[in-house]
Amino acid sequence: MDNLIEIRWHGRGGQGAKTASLLLADAAFNTGKYIQGFPEYGPERMGAPITAYNRISDTPITVHSNIYEPDYVVVVDDSLLESVNVTAGLKSEGAIVINTTKSPEYLKSVLKDYTGSIYTIDARKISIEAMGKYFPNTPMLAAIVKVSKIMSDEAFLKDMEGSFKHKFAKKPDVIEGNMKALELALNQIQKIN
Amino acid sequence: MSIRERLSGNEAAATAMKQINPDVVAAFPITPSTEIPQYFSTFVANGAVDTEFVAVESEHSAMSACIGAEAAGARAMTATSANGLSLMWEMIYIASSLRLPIVLSLVNRAVSGPLNIHNDHSDAMGVRDSGWLMLFSENNQEAYDNLLMAHKIAENKEVLLPLMVCQDGFITSHSIENIMLEEDSEVKNFVGKYEPEHYLLNKKEPISVGPLDLQAYLFEHKAQQAEAMKKAKDVILKVSKEFGDWTGRYYGLFEEYKLDDAELAIVCMNSTAGTTKFVVDKLRNQGIKAGLLKVRVYRPFPAEEIAKALSHVKAVAVLDKSDSLNGAGGALFTDVTSGMYVNNIHVPTINYVYGIGGRDVPALQIESVYNDLSKIVETGNLGNPYRYLGLKTKEVM
């Protein structure tokens, strides 16, 4: 498992964290990588905290377990910050990406001992501007690609356009909005620590 | 040319079934195997297969419909998990005793109760003595490959036994991973046409299937089943060789990973074997001679071959993802140690029951097993041979 990148997603049931992890796996797969994308299934229901995972590597991945020491953490819903230990095991040279409008001071205080990089993005604003509805997973997908540098912005956008054309073959009108959400997210992500 | 893809374990199983294009699929949905008949019914609706899909009202009926179809002379498949397999129980024995080479995709999950939908091997272990061939799969690739080989093995005239392909529920069934698929036409070619020798719809040879079989002959018929099970070993090896020559992916009765010169060995099945490979590599980098024996063919059980493959190591740990609740050891442990004893191979061997009800199995847990084995070799003291791995002990003892 050379150049292994491990990512953990925290979201709430219904926000699309699982779908985002699968789309990320897809995008990395298309660049020639070995990938894993899997959710940690619990008693799923709308609004309950859920976790999903990605492994991305240059060589075959044989490990089949949850991820305990991720390189990156994505938080799709900032209300989880006070109830779930989202930085558990997160490598200090890694980064956390949070969908939030909360202040840097608040975020640093709620993440307590975590000393690594913190990125924020207002996925709600982006999603509503681009798609007219709140689908946080599309902007969060772009955000983690940008932070983890799994691939270039251009390669990512090109690949996602193909994926969306396939995924939304029956509703092509949503492709443009999703693409716009990705572009806005790539530009609006902020590093606060 | 193999096709590079990324699929979940359930998608891989459904894809194999699509390419096999069996005459009949009868299924009832149950987590985590639900997606397999779900995807397959889409293939039926889209005309990608010309299978007769029977949406039955229970798993008992699913297996019954497969038995009826197979007895009639058709190639039949189904998929299930845990309590679905429990509900098939009665018909599982009928299928094997009627020598019907049905193929079942079993996505392993804990058998209730209390109710748990997550992975362990208690469903498979419950039918280990039912006369079915049982292949275990580390990942989506192996679930796919084992299914492509299944009919060729099960339908062989020396065998004629039903076969189940196992994979770990959620861990591999719901994880998207890289996979190499084969071309539809090549799969069709490899699997071949099903030509049963005796079947109900053959008007030239009227037969009766499953009549009363009392003291006079049941024993002989059971012995025939047992002999077929023994013969299946060579057939599995032959089909696996052909499969390897075709795809480049070779399989044996089990996989030996850095076992040649190993001093400490783990024996396990399904997805844990992958995590164990990672740990073996890590320990090898530290100069520790760790190795793995991954059981692929669990029924027939390659007792002698496994015993011999472990004969040179200094200590063995057998991991059971199901507890036999007999106060003595899990099923795989009992099989491995009895194989060693009968073949006069006496290596210190311990058993761990682990991963029950979806309890995650991190690499560190596997590493702790090798540490325990190291201590056994150092001290010469085996200690308790029947242990738990990953149990929150203070809540039990």
Query: Considering just the CA atoms, what is the radius of gyration of chain A in Å?
Result: 16
pLDDT attached to residue A170? 86
- The structure's pTM equals 0.97
pLDDT attached to residue A50? 92
Q: Tell me the C-alpha to C-alpha distance, in Å, between residue B163 and each of B78, B149, B335.
A: 11, 10, 19
pLDDT attached to residue A168? 85
- pLDDT, tens digit (0-9, with 9 covering 90-100), for B170-223: 999 999 999 999 999 999 999 999 999 999 999 999 999 999 999 999 999 999
pLDDT of residue A88 exceeding 80, the answer is: yes
Question: Residues A50, A39: contact at Cβ < 8 Å?
Answer: yes
- Residue A1 sits at the chain B interface (C-beta within 8 Å): yes
Question: Residues B301, B328: contact at Cβ < 8 Å?
Answer: no
Sign of CA dihedral B384, B390, B396, B397: positive
pLDDT of residue B61 exceeding 70, the answer is: yes
- pLDDT, tens digit (0-9, with 9 covering 90-100), for A170-193: 888 899 999 999 999 999 999 998
Selected for mutation to probe chain A from B115, B142, B176, B292 (highest A CB count within 10 Å) is B176
Question: A22 vs B176: CB contact, 8 Å cut-off?
Answer: yes
pLDDT of residue B310 exceeding 70, the answer is: yes
- Which stretches within A53-152 are classed as H helix? 104-110, 123-131, 137-148
Average pLDDT over residues A146-175: 91
- Cα gap B364→B319, rounded to integer Å: 15
Dihedral class, residue B99 (left if φ above 0, else alpha if ψ from -120 to 50, else beta):
left
Nearest to B139 by CA among B94, B171, B187, B182: B171
pLDDT of residue A163 exceeding 90, the answer is: no
CA angle, residues A79, A84, A87, in degrees to nearest 5? 105
Average pLDDT over residues A38-57: 88
pLDDT of residue B397 exceeding 80, the answer is: no
Min Cα–Cα distance to chain A from B10, Å: 13
- The domain limits of chain B are 3-247, 254-395
- Residue A26 sits at the chain B interface (C-beta within 8 Å): yes
pLDDT of residue B394 exceeding 80, the answer is: no
Question: For all residues of chain B together, what is the average pLDDT?
Answer: 97
Residue B3 CA to its chain's centroid (Å):
25
Q: Please give the CATH number for the structural domain made up of B3-247.
A: 3.40.50.970
Min Cα–Cα distance to chain B from A56, Å: 10
Question: B176 vs A36: CB contact, 8 Å cut-off?
Answer: yes
Q: What φ, ψ does residue A11 adopt, rounded to 5°?
A: -150, -170
Amino acid B152 reads K
CA angle, residues B133, B234, B342, in degrees to nearest 5? 80
- Which residues lie across from A107 on neighbouring strands? none
Dump the DSSP string for B82-93: HHHHHHHHHHHH
- ipTM of this complex > 0.90? yes
- pLDDT, tens digit (0-9, with 9 covering 90-100), for B249-290: 999 999 999 999 999 999 999 999 999 999 999 999 999 999
Which domains does chain A carry? Answer: 5-191 (3.40.920.10)
Lowest mean pLDDT among A39-43, A189-193, B67-71: A39-43
Quick one: fold of B254-395?
A: Rossmann fold (3.40.50)
How would residue B396 be classed by pLDDT, with cut points 50, 70 and 90? confident
B363 vs A26, A29, A63: nearest CB: A63
pLDDT of residue A167 exceeding 90, the answer is: no
B3-247 and B254-395: identical CATH topology: yes
Chain A partners of B170 at a C-beta cutoff of 8 Å?
Answer: 38, 41
CA-nearest residue of chain A to B175?
Answer: A38
How would residue A44 be classed by pLDDT, with cut points 50, 70 and 90? low
pLDDT of residue A54 exceeding 70, the answer is: yes
How large a percentage of chain A has pLDDT more than 90?
82
- pLDDT, tens digit (0-9, with 9 covering 90-100), for B113-153: 999 999 999 999 999 999 999 999 999 999 999 999 999 99
Question: B275 vs A22: CB contact, 8 Å cut-off?
Answer: no
A65 vs B6, B32, B360: nearest CB: B360
- Residue A30 sits at the chain B interface (C-beta within 8 Å): no
